[in-house]
A and B are shown apart, each in its own frame.
Chain A
């Protein structure tokens, strides 16, 4: 499938259904992101936002449906995807410094056994500079603030030099200055033709940050340009939790079916 310019869409998700720990979280999710957009995924707690990203990455097995990056299965395109996990997902006491973490972003490209070289170091420094963390390159990661940790994660994703980025709650627990800096950075990335998809939990800022919004509550409530989608009615539907039968039944099927 291609859009009007004949490009492959950056991300195409078809009928994705996911049960996580025997609880269903996503139900027939279907959407298509064109290249070069900044997309926000919003929805209430437990709507399956993080799970959607993880399952696109193949980190959580899907029980149905598929996702494609630039027209090919994610597995074949893994180098073109940068993934930014939630900050809490790693042990910040780990004995590595900021530079080591960012260098990890290059590991996918250099392959097995070979070591990181000068080229990778330069790339990592550049990425650190972009997020304003270069002065901290030698710092041990447990001595960073929440905002700084997040910046390091973004720098690591930048070092991956991917075409599409999936970020899981990059704004949670960061200071206002960091949030503003990160949004500017994301917009720059978008202007360079990259596609950035961000899980976001704050409705108030969603409208100004993103070009497109995906309203998610177990299933796609709406997907489209922010102007068209950010309406009271659709938001009400997303956060209203009206589909009790759907979630109950899906719950039951996941339990019995496993």
Chain B
């Protein structure tokens, strides 16, 4: 049974100039212990579809799907209360801006323990012990002392580690990482990716990696979905995607990588004939 299964997901936003379709019928599924990467440029709807799964979209958004099931439970049929029990415990999410995702008014220890209190119902001593254990797992030195730090006293990389600690606090079955390293330096990015991959293997989580960086995809994913303007362009395992991309859009993306430059000009999207629904705009 797939961990998460989505069929024909559509998301539209009400705006002052009418409805805007951000996601136009996406199918996807992820198995337990699998790393799925969703790649796309801005406007591809890659974040929106995952936020729809989490139920985190604003009220102006309309979400429809033929099926959206987590571990066999239909998410669309749940009440808000039931859904919140799953989200944050069985499905966790981390975001691009680690500094902005943490509340600057509270210590990181408080923020980790809050999750444990809400979802696990632990007492004070248990929470403290578990928080220290989590900080160790995400590779923060002197965990007991650092629990008393405020987010602004930590670097971006450390904040992202704390976010990961909060995300894995309840042993989720699925972790969604939305551009987790985009705001970080390359050397820190490497550390965070290594950490995510290690935790994924240790905990046997499913991991959905949303990114625009082909390098990150190549370094982490088992399977890849390429999205463009709210539609799925291609789905393949990582090796065949890079070895023999099927859709023109994927080809264009890969050849636009400066690593793959052959002449002194890079091929651009317009050099490729794209699918009718494709990137001519």
Q: Do A and B bind each other?
A: no
Residue positions of A touching B, CB distance < 8 A: none
- Enumerate chain B interface residues (CB-CB to A < 8 A): none
